[in-house]
Structures are given as structure tokens and as C-alpha cells.
Structure 1
Amino acid sequence: MTIVRIDELTLAPGARLLGLDLGEKTIGIALSDTRLTVATPMQTLRRGKFSADADKLATIVTEQAVGGIVIGLPVNMDGSDSAAAQSARAFGRNLASRLALPIVFWDERLSTVAVTRALIEADASRRKRSQVVDKVAAAYILQGALERLRAMRGE
């Protein structure tokens, strides 16, 4: 469909949002509830060719009644685009051309750092952290977008 700002996002009643944390090797995936209040870590995909990644995401979109996608945008601390942010934008544009869904980019500055700290504080082992950090970061990103949507609705 198209890239939209969070304030332009419209979803059908009961549709969920999918959150993505794009890494070089993996894609962390999170899913909202149908009331758009809570983001839950879902899974981590090992990245391959874009077409294979897009096919896997399309399957999730269909199975989970997803109405829109939130992609974490790793901008620099000064707000400028990093190389990873440019890559995320390209991924989002390509995904928008394949899926008939609105896509929102969401500032993810320090999300992985915050999630890693929380996992360390929860006494998660290094191995456990490496297994869950991407999908938990995706949930962190998606939760930020959900909170913004809730604030815009006056809740």
C-alpha cells in the first residue's frame, strides 16, 4: 500500500499491528492485540533474500489479521538517518509494494539497548538474551506506536 505517518494510520476494526525490528541477520516480530493496546513478542526470523522475508511476513499478516505494519527506524541520536535507517526505509518501501497494508516507521533509538538492559536485570543468560532480544525489541517499538495511537484517541 503506502508509507504513512502514525497520525495518518487507519485500520479496520479488529485489525492488529505487526511490529518489526530489522537487523542485519534477523527480523524481530511482535504483534498487537485487536484492541491495539498491548504488543507481544512473537518470533525472530533469520533474514534471507527480501522475497523470502516478504513471503514469510505475508503469511503472518494473513494468519494474524494484520492491518498495518510498524517498522523500527534506527535514526542517529541527532535525528539524522543512519545507514541502518536507510536500509529500514528501503525494506519498508519494498514491503509496501508487495503488501496492501499501510506501513509506519517508528523511531527506535535505544530500543535494543533498553531491552538488553531489562533482560540483564531480569537475570536472563547471554544465550537467552540473544534468542529473544530481537522480538522483544520489536514489541518495545510496537508498544511505543500503540501508546501514541492511544494518546491520539484521547485514551
Structure 2
Amino acid sequence: MAILDNADFESALPASARLLGVDLGTKTIGLALSDTSRTVASPLETIRRVKFSIDVERFFALIDQHQVAGIVLGLPMNMDGTAGPRVQATRAFATEVLKRRELNLTYWDERLSTAAVTRMMIDADMTRARRAELVDKLAATYILQGYLDAAANWRRGG
């Protein structure tokens, strides 16, 4: 398995299987999980980053526990569409993960995902502490739901 473009990723997946959405940060990894019909994304967990080997151990445990068929990894492109240092770090993370396990993985543009989720939480009148607790896994949910909605549209021929 490898890093696939969205069309190849979609065709590599079984008809009914879960996907894991990932919002990779420098201090945390936000995770979201789809249902088996790949219609709805739900927040799963935030992994506090310690060391790559420890982080990836938890990552793989969740993949196994939820029988995940593919990873949708948020790609933090700059607003002008260029790739900066965070994109390089995200690609390096994907490469290291795939060295350790065969997985289907695709990238999804995550521009403004954290900003959109933060705005939603502020509008919901959440405290700053509660927002900090939820932002990463909600950003992962936003990323994964964006992919799921687009994939459903592709399947309908849109």
C-alpha cells in the first residue's frame, strides 16, 4: 500500500470499511473515524505527541481496534496553495508510518479546518479550556467529513 491520489485511494478500499481522519500537529494528533458506509465522520481521540515510536504505537492500536481500511491525512497547505514546512513534516510522517505498516493513505487539503472548528466552538460558547481539549479531534473530523462528502459526490458521478 502507499500514498494514493484520491481516485486510486477510493478504488483501493473495500466496499464497506472505516477510514481514519488525521489532523497532524506538532504537539498532538487529532483523530476521527468514519462509519463503515463512509458517510459520517466522528471525533475519536487526540494523541499527545511524545516520541514517534510511542505515538505510532497508539495510532496502529486504534487502526487495529476499529478495523480501519484507509487513512485520510490532512495536508496543511498554505493559503496560496504552496507547500511549507508543515506540509513537509506531514509527508515525512506519512512516509515513516508506511515504512512500518502497509496502509492505504491519501492526503486531503486541510486549509482552514482548525479555524472553522474553532469558530464553531466559539459560536457554541465553549470555554477556552474545552476548545483546547477538542480542537484537534474536531479538526480531524472536519478533514475526514470533507473527504467523505467529496467521495460520495465522485461515486454519484459529480
TM class by shorter-chain length?
over 0.9
**Deviation sequence 1:93-151 (CA, Å, 0-9, x none):** 11112122111111000100000000000111100000000000000000011111101
Which 4+ stretches in 1 moved above 2 angstroms?
none
1:2 aligns with 2:10: no
1:109 aligns with 2:79: no
Give the letter for the 1:73 counterpart.
L
Number of aligned residue pairs: give it: 155
* Percent identical: 49
CA distance in 1, matches of 2:116, 2:93: 24
Deviation at 1:13?
Answer: 3.0
Partner of 1:17 in structure 2?
19
Partner of 1:54 in structure 2?
56
Give the letter for the 1:129 counterpart.
R
**Deviation sequence 1:36-89 (CA, Å, 0-9, x none):** 000001110001211111111111111101000011110101111121111001
Deviation at 1:14?
Answer: 2.4
CA distance in 2, matches of 1:91, 1:7: 22
Cα RMSD between the aligned structures?
1.0
Whether the aligned pair in 2 keeps the contact of 1:54 and 1:98 (CA below 8 Å) is no
Whether the aligned pair in 2 keeps the contact of 1:2 and 1:97 (CA below 8 Å) is no
Q: Which runs of 5+ in 2 are unaligned?
A: none
Q: Which runs of 5+ in 1 are unaligned?
A: none
TM-score, L = length of structure 2 = 0.95
CA distance in 2, matches of 1:57, 1:94: 12
Partner of 2:135 in structure 1?
133
CA distance in 2, matches of 1:95, 1:140: 22
1:32 aligns with 2:63: no
Partner of 1:44 in structure 2?
46
